[in-house]
């Protein structure tokens, strides 16, 4: 009953927050054309808009019915955008409720706090404010997929991660830790997730191959400018073009050796959440254009880890959130860059150490288990 009430609270909160929070931001130049075309029943036009949205089709399909209702009621572009953000925020709220079911909290107050941190974190609000609610949806699907893999729910994990991949490309970072968590056969999960993402994306690629190729190249490259919440800012404010273009592929590829190293050190399903958080942290600190909302997947992974560890309060999530707010709201220039480096380095070391401790604990439990 408590979880049902929390589910209702999460859904209602998502509706209220979405309708009263959020600005168009990048939306008119990104997803708006496709969402509006699909909301109007024009499927081919939604597939061939130029430029194509820097995202997969899942977010567009999910948001279109809500945008259609908003337009039918006489709402303008902002109302349609905010209405379309509702299912994205609902996904994050329901993830929080599901995490509370998988990892029951020790204190009743944790339920409300977990939902607030999942849906109302500054990173989630920033995503709404700059026109990218699909980031909230992708983060929720990705963390849910990895937790499903931890519970050996291979099909569910493949579907969730496939939907995440077909929403935003960066979700591929979560595939290696999910494969580590699910055990054998590992490749069934990867094949299912990639296959579903490809199936959902193929119509877009066939309808407009040149536009799809342009969008994919754009998503895979970073600009030369460096944000203060990036480790690159300690080196330079502008990166050479060739180096900036290498950062995104390098971040994705780094997930493989880091996960292999974790597996060799004995990390199994129970140690995957700090590994996932570490990979999302690597993405943040090494992306030159490290937007505020890029940290949302990191915060959701930390939230799941806090619940798994049965902490009295989600200290890891709260600490990272406060440090992130301090970096972006109260500091600037070199001070912000140094502070960001310090707290993210400490968090990275903590997550790496947690993986080792969990793997050793698992090894001891296995040695002490009766034959």
DSSP character at residue 53: P
Looking at residue 368, its pLDDT comes to 38
Residues 325-362 have pLDDT tens digits of 999 888 888 899 999 999 999 999 999 988 555 555 44
Residues 106-141 have pLDDT tens digits of 777 788 999 999 998 999 999 999 999 999 999 999
Cis peptide before 51 (omega within 30 of 0): yes
Residue 37 confidence class, pLDDT cut points 50, 70, 90? very high
Looking at residue 370, its pLDDT comes to 37
User: How much is the mean pLDDT over the chain?
Assistant: 89
Res 282 pLDDT > 70? yes
- Nearest alpha-carbon partner for 56 in 125, 126, 128, 138: 138
Residue 333 Rama label (left phi>0; alpha psi -120 to 50; beta): left
Looking at residue 16, its pLDDT comes to 92
DSSP character at residue 202: H
CA atoms within 13 A on the CB side of 133: 34
Which residue(s) pair with 238 in the sheet?
A: 225
Lowest mean pLDDT among 64-73, 169-178, 298-307, 362-371: 362-371
Looking at residue 358, its pLDDT comes to 53
Residues 139-148 have pLDDT tens digits of 999 999 999 9
Q: Tell me how far apart the alpha carbons of residues 335 and 159 are, in angstroms, rounded to a whole number.
A: 43
Q: Compute the average pLDDT of residues 181-195.
A: 88
Res 168 pLDDT > 80? yes
Looking at residue 107, its pLDDT comes to 74
Q: Tell me how far apart the alpha carbons of residues 355 and 275 are, in angstroms, rounded to a whole number.
A: 7
Task: Enter the pTM of the model.
Answer: 0.93
- Phi first, then psi: give them for residue 121, nearest 5 degrees: -65, 155
Task: Give the count of beta carbons closer than 10 Å to the beta carbon of residue 141.
Answer: 26
Domain layout of the chain by residue ranges: 2-361
Res 50 pLDDT > 70? yes
Lowest mean pLDDT among 64-68, 293-297, 330-334: 330-334
């Amino acid at each position: 009953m408590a979880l049902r009430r929390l589910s209702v609270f999460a859904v209602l909160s998502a509706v209220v927050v979405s309708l009263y929070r959020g600005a168009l931001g990048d939306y008119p130049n990104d997803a708006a054309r496709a969402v509006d075309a699909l909301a109007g029943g024009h499927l081919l036009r939604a597939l061939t808009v130029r430029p194509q949205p820097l995202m997969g089709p899942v977010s567009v399909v999910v948001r279109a019915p809500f945008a259609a209702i908003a337009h039918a009621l006489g709402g303008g572009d902002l109302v349609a955008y905010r209405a379309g953000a509702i299912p994205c925020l609902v996904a994050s709220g329901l993830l929080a409720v599901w995490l509370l079911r998988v990892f029951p909290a020790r204190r009743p107050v944790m339920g409300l706090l977990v939902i607030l941190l999942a849906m109302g974190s500054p990173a989630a609000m920033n995503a709404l404010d700059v026109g990218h609610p699909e980031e909230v949806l992708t983060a929720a699907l990705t963390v849910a997929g990895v937790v499903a893999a931890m519970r050996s729910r291979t099909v569910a994990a493949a579907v969730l991660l496939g939907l995440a991949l077909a929403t935003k490309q960066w979700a591929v970072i979560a595939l290696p830790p999910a494969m580590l968590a699910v055990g054998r056969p590992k490749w069934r999960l990867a094949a299912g997730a990639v296959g579903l993402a490809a199936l959902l994306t193929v119509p877009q690629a066939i309808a407009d191959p040149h536009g799809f190729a342009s969008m994919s190249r754009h998503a895979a490259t970073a600009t030369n400018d460096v944000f203060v919440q990036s480790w690159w800012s300690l080196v330079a404010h502008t990166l050479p073009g060739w180096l900036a273009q290498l950062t995104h592929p390098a971040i994705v590829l780094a997930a493989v050796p880091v996960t292999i190293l974790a597996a060799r050190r004995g990390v199994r399903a129970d140690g995957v959440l700090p590994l996932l958080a570490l990979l999302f942290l690597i993405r943040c600190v090494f992306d030159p254009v490290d937007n505020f909302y890029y940290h949302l997947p990191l915060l959701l992974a930390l939230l799941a880890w806090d619940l798994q560890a049965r902490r009295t309060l989600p200290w890891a999530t709260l600490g990272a959130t406060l440090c992130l707010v301090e970096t972006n709201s109260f500091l600037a220039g070199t001070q912000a860059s140094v502070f960001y480096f310090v707290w993210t380095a400490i968090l990275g070391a903590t997550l790496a150490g947690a993986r080792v401790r969990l793997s050793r604990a698992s090894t001891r439990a296995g040695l002490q288990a009766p034959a």
